[in-house]
Amino acid sequence: MRIIPAIDIIDGRCVRLTQGDYSRKTLYSREPVEVARELEAHGIRYLHLVDLDGAREGKIRNHGVLEVIADKTGLKVDFSGGIRNDKDLRTAFRCGASQVTCGSIAVSRPGLFLQWLADYGPERIILGADFRQRKVATGGWLSGSETDIMNFLRQYRSEGVVYAMCTDIEKDGMLDGPSVDMYKEIVQIEGLSLIASGGITSLEDLMKLRETGCEAAIVGKAIYEGKISLKELAELC
C-alpha cells in the first residue's frame, strides 16, 4: 500500500481543516515546499496537494505552490481543488502534477470528466469521491448531494475509472480512525484502486487499511500533530 502525505493549502500556507469546515482550520507555520522537501528526505515518494482556496472558489488558485514543489523536489504530486475546466486541468499538469483528482466536476459535468479520462488516461485522472453519511459531497465539501457513494463509484468504474480517492468527511481531521467498514465495501468493486483518506491517526490504522485492500492511504493531520512520525512512515513505506 502506498503512503501519501497530504499538504492542504490556503493563501499559500499549510493548513488542516476539521471535517472540511473552513471556519475550523489549523494554520501551520512551515512553508509547503519545506514540508515537501522533508518528506522527500525521509524517502517518501508521493504527495497529495490540495488547493482549498480553489475548491471553495471553483477555480485553481495555488498552482504556484504546486509548481515550486514540482521544481524543487522529485515527489510525484497528485493535485486537487478547483479544477472545473480544461484550462485549469492543463495548468495543473503544466505546473508539474503527475496526477489530478477531480471530484465536483464528476458530479456536475460527468461528460467533461469522462472526456478528460479519455484524453489523459485513467492513470492520470483520479476520481474524487468524498462522502458524508454515504452521500457524495462536492465543492470543497461545502455542498452535498443525494448521490449514493457506492452507486457513484460503480458507475464510474464501468466508464473506465481506475483510481478513486475517498474521504469520509465526518472522519477528516478528527484523528479517531478511518472508515474501515466503508472501505471494505468499496474495495469489493472489481478493478477499482481505492485511495483511502480521513481519520488516520496511527500506524495501526494504516495496517488496517492495508489489510482491507486499499491501494493507498492519505495521511495529513496525524503527521502535523506528531501522531505519526516521518521516520515511522518511511519505515512502513
Residues tagged active-site: 8, 130
- Quickly count: other Cβ atoms within 10 Å of residue 91's Cβ: 19
Give the length of the chain: 237
Decide: helix, strand or coil at residue 183.
helix
CA distance 37 to 230: 12
Calculate the alpha carbon distances from 147 to 3, 66, 106, 144, 183 in Å.
Answer: 29, 31, 12, 9, 17
CB 30, CB 36: distance < 8 Å: no
